[in-house]
Amino acid sequence: LDCPNGELTKKKFIQVYRQFFPNGQAEAFCTHIFRTFDADNSGKIDFKEFLMAINITAKGNPEKKLKWAFKMYDIDSNGSIDRQEMLRIIESIYDLLGATAAQNAPNGAITNRDPNDTPESRTAQIFAVMDEDNNGVITEEEFIRGCMADRVLYQMLTADTSDPER
């Protein structure tokens, strides 16, 4: 990783992600991650922002990780996640992992993915669990409670493989 001035541009950030996910499309997901890392909205991630984000995502307690993840899902920063925001992030995750490419595989191709597992169906499942008051948006509190109550959701929405403390 070559950042002689101590700042990481979005372009360089995407290049790094592509190395880890060569079979997927990294751009959309990286845009969301980059926005969340770039705390001062400068268009670059400086060393301090990078360390803070890595510290939270790698070593933070489950609630801190979830607050950080919520910021990523809350694309317009209005304090809640609507269905469109959730769908955009879920689609970008599927693209990153190459999941949507599996959907478009030729007939008879062997894939490990359930054809009913779409970003739209996943978004609907998440809202069914998390939107406690059925008002069409997920608040930070609903997001945290929903993830803490469901290990699979926690791991999927935070990209974490550890078990959240209960």
**Residues contacting residue 10 through CB under 8 Å, at least 6 positions apart:** 30, 31, 34, 43, 44
How do the pLDDT tens digits run along the chain, 166 residues long?
A: 566 678 889 998 888 888 887 777 888 888 998 999 999 999 999 989 988 888 887 787 889 889 999 999 999 999 999 999 999 999 998 888 775 444 444 443 334 556 778 999 999 999 999 999 999 999 999 999 999 998 888 887 776 544 444 4
> What pLDDT, on the 0 to 100 scale, is given for residue 102?
46
Distance in angstroms (rounded) separating the CA atoms of residues 18 and 9: 14
Considering the segment(s) 7-102+114-158 as one domain, its CATH architecture is Orthogonal Bundle (1.10)
| pLDDT tens figures, 134-165 | 999 999 999 999 999 988 888 877 765 444 44
Distance in angstroms (rounded) separating the CA atoms of residues 107 and 99: 16
Pair 98, 23: CB distance under 8 Å: yes
Pair 82, 136: CB distance under 8 Å: yes
Instruction: Locate 34 and state its tokens.
Output: 């980059």
Q: What does each C-alpha distance from 134 to 2, 126, 145, 148 come to in angstroms?
A: 47, 12, 15, 19
**Residues contacting residue 159 through CB under 8 Å, at least 6 positions apart:** none
> What pLDDT, on the 0 to 100 scale, is given for residue 164?
45
Which neighbouring-strand residues pair with 81? 138
